[in-house]
Structure 1
Amino acid sequence: MAQSIFEKNGGKYIKVGDYYVPDLGQFDEDTEPVDERVIGKYGSLRRTFLEEHRPAIYTKLLYSFELDTHLKDVNEEAQNLIDKLLPQYKKQQGVTEELKAQNQLLWVGKVNNIIAQIEEIIYREIVYV
């Protein structure tokens, strides 16, 4: 069988499933793990804040390739705070499943109010600092 130009230049093929593909290192087990977290709402808000109000920090994070990780950390921290505070606030304010069954509109209003309170904390403590 004739060699391809890729093979003549020292390239190798590997079998992936039923196909042979050029071995460019994309299937190596030793590669660095990819951070699959999302930047999300709070990370995006943080990025905008840094660009507009903290350009030095934004530039430093961008050029050190740490910006995406920082934004993902911000989003994760905010989500963790929501997960922690939402049940506590619901309990404090008497927002129960029983209330949901009796008066859904009231329940939704109270939950939205609680989420707004938590988001104010997130903005003040995490995003806009």
Structure 2
Amino acid sequence: MELMYHRKGDYLFPNLAVKDEPQTIGKYGMLRRTYLKENHKNWYQSMLMSGRLNQHLAQIEEAAESRVETLLDSLNEKFPAPSKEKDPLAWAAHQNNLTAMAEEIVLKELVYN
């Protein structure tokens, strides 16, 4: 393997580039990236240098979003919401609680494992 170098002052730096496709990641992908960076440094660096990090984060994001939707549907069946017309604040509080429950499960299962 032959590397090309460029000179910067008195130093030679290798011309390295990581081929990584730009992908948009959301909340769960950013949380996963932070978790890997702080708790699994070697794995994070390996994935970053090989160009697989953004793909992994996009997969986690997609899986987490679909899992949250599935969990919300099942939780709404298990714990029916009060009438939105009669008591909108209770309905909103109920939906917020269900969303928090679903997100907590997803974070434990997918993001922080």
TM-score tier (shorter):
0.7 to 0.9
- TM-score norm. by structure 2 comes to 0.77
CA RMSD of aligned residues (A): 1.5
Task: Flag the structure with larger Rg.
Answer: 1
1:80 aligns with 2:66: yes
Q: Quick one: which of 42, 47, 59 aligns to 1:56?
A: 42
The answer to whether the 8 Å contact 2:32/2:112 transfers is yes
Moved over 4 A (4+): none
Report how many aligned residue pairs link the two structures.
93
Residue pairs, 1:117-128, within 5 angstroms: 117-128=101-112
Corresponding residue of 1:112? 96
Tell me, yes or no, if the aligned pair for 2:22 and 2:54 is still in contact at 8 Å. no
The superposition leaves residues 70-120 of structure 1 with CA deviations (integer Å, 9 ceiling, x where unpaired) of: 111111111000111111111211116xx1121110011111111111111
List gaps (5 residues or longer) in structure 2: 1-20
Aligned to 1:25: none
Query: Which residue of 1 is the match for residue 84 of structure 2?
Result: 100
The answer on 1:68 being equivalent to 2:41 is: no
Percent sequence identity over matched residues? 35
- 1:11 aligns with none
- State how far apart, in whole Å, the 1-side matches of 2:68 and 2:107 are: 12
Shift of 1:53: 0.5
Measure, in 1, the Cα distance between the counterparts of 2:98 and 2:30: 22
Separation in structure 1 between the aligned mates of residue 68 and residue 81 of structure 2, nearest angstrom:
16
Distance across 1 between alignment mates of 2:85 and 2:53:
44
